[in-house]
Chains A and B, each alone.
Chain A
Amino acid sequence: MNDQDYITFEGYISKTLSEEDIADFEMRIERDQDFKQAFKTYKELHSFLEYKFENEENSKSFKDNLDTISKSYFKTESTSKKVLRFAPWNYAVAASVIVLLGFFLFNNFSDPSYSNFSNHDQISLIERGVQAKDVEAAETAFNTKDYSKANLAFKGLLELDSTNTEYQFYRAISNIELDNFEEAEVLLGNLKDGDSGYKYKAIWYLALSKLKQKDYPACVGLLKTIPKEAEDYKSALKLLKKLD
C-alpha cells in the first residue's frame, strides 16, 4: 500500500470521503484482496489505538484494583495453608477434641437451629439498567447482614420491577432474618408455586422459616417435598435426620 491508500483508509473511517470516493473505495475492497486485508488491519489498529489511549486511566485503575484484590486473595490463600501445616500427632489431638465437642454439643443442644442451616452465600445482583445504584445498595445491605435495610431496598426495587424473582427471594430471606415470617412466607409461597429458578430454594427457605419458629411438623412436611434435583436436597436430608 502507498501513502495515498492509508490516507483513503483514514478518510473512509472518519467519514470524510466524498460519495464518489466512497464508491471507488468500496469497489476496490471488493476486487483487491491485498487492499482489503490492509484495510482490515488498519481498521483494527485504529480501534486498538483508540481504545488504548482513551481508556488509559480506566484501565490503569482497573489493573491497580485487580492487583490489590489478587494479592489479598493469594495472601489469605497461603496463610490458610500455613495454619493447616502442623505435625501429624496434632491431627489426632484435634480430631479427638472435635469428637468430644461434637458429642457434647449433640447431647446438650440437639435441636437443630435456623442459623445452622441458613448459610446464604454472599449475593451479587448487579444488573445493567437505571436502578443499578439501588441494586447495589440492596446487595450491600444483604451481604453485610443489615436485613432491615435490605428489606426496604428490595421493597423499593420490587415496586419498579414486581416480577423479579431474585428480588422476591432475597426480600423473603431478609424477612425471615427479621422474624417477619408472614411476609416472608407469602413471598416464598408465590415463588414455590411459580416456575423460576427459585422454585425449590423457596421450599427450602419456607422450611427454614418454620424451623426458626420451632414449628417442626410443618418444617418436616415441607422438607419432604424438596425433590432430589434441588440444590438443597442434601441439606434437607440432613435437617430431616436431625428432626426425626
Chain B
Amino acid sequence: MTLSKRIYTGLLLAVGLWCLAIVAAPVLQVYGGMPGQTIAAALYLGFARICHQIDGRSLHVFSEKFGVCIRCTSIYFSFFVGLVAFPFIRGHKAQTIPDRRWLIVGIVPMVLDAFLNDSGIHQSGDTTRVLTGSIAGFVLALYVLPLFIEALTQLSSHRNRQGDSRYAGQTQ
C-alpha cells in the first residue's frame, strides 16, 4: 500500500469513527447501561465544545438527540461521503488542490443560511440546514484531502531525508 493510500485510509477511519461517535452517543445513552451512559455523557460533553446541541435543532434516535445538531451532522457525514467519493471523482493520484473558488461556492450558502436565520431575515428549516451543511462538508472533503495527503507525504519525506543525513553523518 502506498503512503498516500495509507494516509487516505487513516483519515477515512478517523472521520468514520467521528461520525460513529455522533450516532453512538444517543444509542449508548439508551441501551448502554451504566458504562454506556458514562461514555455517552463523555461524548456529549466533548461534542458540546463544538456544537450548541439544541434539542429542537438535532436529529433524534430512540428519542435521544445526536451528539451534534442537524447542520453539524450534515457537515461531518457529507465530509465522510466526500472522502469515500474522492477516489471515484478525482482518483487516488489526483494531488492537485481544487480552486479556492469551489471552497467559497461550497461554504457561502451555509454561512448565508445561518446568518440570515439568526438575523431574522429568513427562516431556515431542517431541509436548508441539511442541504447547505452537506454541500459545505462535501466540498471541504474534496478540498482538504489532497492538502492533508500532500502535507503528511512531505513530513514523511522530510523525516526520511533527516534520517538519511544522520545515517550518512554516522558512517563518515
| Genuine A/B complex | no
Chain A interface (Cβ < 8 Å from any Cβ of B):
none
Chain B interface (Cβ < 8 Å from any Cβ of A):
none
